[in-house]
Amino acid sequence: MNLIIDVGNTKVKMAIFSRKRLLKKTSIPYNDIQDTLDALLIQYPGLRKAILASVGKSFSPAYQKLKGRVKLVKLDLETALPFKNKYKTPRTLGVDRIALIAAAAIKYPKVNTLVIDAGTCITYDFINRENEYLGGAISPGIRLRYKSLNNLTANLPLLETRTPRHYIGASTNASIHSGVINGVINEMEGVIDQYRSDWSDLTVILTGGDAKLLSKRLKNSIFANPNFLLEGLNYILEFNT
């Protein structure tokens, strides 16, 4: 069995895989890493391999806990990948984006694939049918947009995420909801259309924390998969062990 640890911007995600099958996943605060690891190691004594990936925060508590107990892979520039990386600044490429493209490379071989991750940031990552990762785009996620409107203006309130009832906001709050949510939807639709103008056979994957909220509102045909990043990390672990 494999243990997957994804240290994100706001949460730590852990998952247990048996080969390609997801058995368990959990999302925890950073401070709960050691207690959660203790519980998982007791619950799953058959764990033999693990992968650690972090977008920036230190994962030393997890590393020290697992060191010597399992075959451990730390996702970094030296990690072997199941695709050809043509990104011009690979040292600045986030491990989350690497994992998403790894999942696309394994699950959709010889297919032009755009992966959209709707999380703290919205990332767009493209891999072509030749198994070449070309890059993509990064823009603010839904919560970042709400927070920016509040932080960078004098009078706009900080609101909880809410799907707008109409695209015309009849109040300030309704206008914010319309601007944020419809802005993200229109951005995604525009990006997908832009890619499809060059790759008509494009496959689009939507994942991330806001995927469920957004998937029902997108007009373009997509495949929603909330576990795509975890699956990608599991593929990378298998690829390296």
CA distances from 114 to 39, 95, 137 (A): 36, 17, 11
Count of alpha carbons within 13 angstroms of residue 183, beta-carbon side: 16
Token duo for residue 129: 């049918």
CA distances from 79 to 95, 111, 128, 129, 197 (A): 10, 23, 21, 22, 34
Structural domains present in the chain: 1-74 (3.30.420.40), 78-241 (3.30.420.40)
Whole-prediction pTM value? 0.92
What sections of the chain are H helices per DSSP?
33-43, 60-66, 95-107, 142-151, 172-177, 183-198, 211-215, 228-240
Nearest to 184 by CA among 155, 152, 148, 154: 148
pLDDT by position in tens, the chain (length 241): 999 999 887 789 999 999 899 999 999 988 888 889 889 989 999 999 999 998 766 667 677 778 778 999 999 888 999 999 999 999 999 999 999 999 999 999 999 999 999 999 999 999 999 999 999 999 999 999 999 999 999 999 999 999 999 999 999 999 999 999 999 999 999 999 999 999 989 999 999 999 999 998 999 889 999 999 999 999 999 999 8
Known active-site residue 38:
no
Residue 165, number of CB atoms within 10 A of its CB = 11
Scan for tokens 């199941």, then name that residue.
82
Burial tier of 211 (Cβ tally within 10 Å: 0-12, 13-18, 19+): buried
Rg (CA), the chain: 19
Strand order in the sheet with 49-54: 21-28, 12-18, 2-7, 49-54, 71-74
Q: Are 105 and 82 in contact (CB under 8 A)?
A: yes
* Rounded CA separation 79/210 (Å): 29
From 32, 35, 38, 96, the catalytic residue: 96
Q: Are 51 and 98 in contact (CB under 8 A)?
A: no
Token duo for residue 216: 């029902």
